[in-house]
Structure 1
Amino acid sequence: MRYWLFKSEPSTWGWQDQIDKGESGEEWDGVRNYQARNFMREMKLGDRGFFYHSQKEKSVVGIVEVCAEAHPDSTTEDDRWDCVDIKAVRGFTQPVTLDQIKTDPRLEEMILVKNSRLSVQPVTREEWVTICALGQTEAD
C-alpha cells in the first residue's frame, strides 16, 4: 500500500462532501497539473490518502481510500487528464495543521513542506504514521 495527500479547497469540496458520497466515493477530478496527474496514475485500489483542507484551514482532516484506479477525467474532453476515485475512511480526531507539519522535524522532508502548491502528492509511511499520531487517529 502507498500513501498520498489530496488537497481541496473546502469551499469547493470539503471533508463533509467526501463523507456524504459514501462507499461509492467520488472522482478526484479537475486536476490540471502533470505531476499530480502522474501520481494519480500510480495509485492502486486500497491506497490511502490524507484529505487536506487548503486555503484558510490548511490542515489534514481525514483519511481517504482509492476506490477506482486512474481513468479519464469526466470533467474534460481532453484525453491528457486522468483521475482516481476516493472514498472517506475516517476523520481525524484532531486536525493537523500545516504549521504543525512545518515545525515537526520528522516531517521536514515532506513534499507538503517543500512544494505546498502540488494538489496530489505522495506521503512516506513514516510521514503517514507521524501525522496520524499528531491527529490522534489510527494509522491503519
Structure 2
Amino acid sequence: MNHSKKPSLSFSLGANHLHAVLRVDQIRNDTLIQLVQHWADPDSRDEILDALDELAAVVQGIAREGELDAAIEQVEDVAGMDTAQIEVPTLDARRLHDELSAVNRVLDRFNPQRRVPAPREGGAAA
C-alpha cells in the first residue's frame, strides 16, 4: 500500500517487502500525450503505426539482444518523444528522499551490511 502524500510521484515497498516501487505517473502521461500529438498528423501516423507494429512483433516473439531497445527507440523517434524524465521540485525531492529512506530501512533488515548481489549475466544486478 502506498502511504505517500503524493502517490503519483512516490516510493513505496513492494507487496512482499523485498523491493522498492517507484511510481512516476507523469512520465507515462507525457509519453502518451507525445505519441498522440504526432498521431494527429496523417503522415506521421503511418510511420508510428509501422513502428508500433514492429515493436509488437518484437515483444510477442523472442527478441535478439538489442532488438527491443531498437524497436522502442524507433517508436520514440517517429513520434518525436522526449527523454523519459521529469523535473522534481525541491519539496518533492525531499519527500521522495524520506520515502526512499523509509523503504530502505525495511529492505535493509534483510541485508544489514548492504551487500550487493553479483551481476547477472547480461550485466544487470539482481
**One fold, TM greater than 0.5?**
no
Bigger relative CO (Cα 8 Å, ≥ 6 apart): 1
Name the one with the larger helix percent. Answer: 2
* TM-score using structure 2 length: 0.29
TM (norm. structure 1) is 0.27
Whose Rg is larger? 2
Write 1 or 2 for the structure with the bigger share of strand: 1
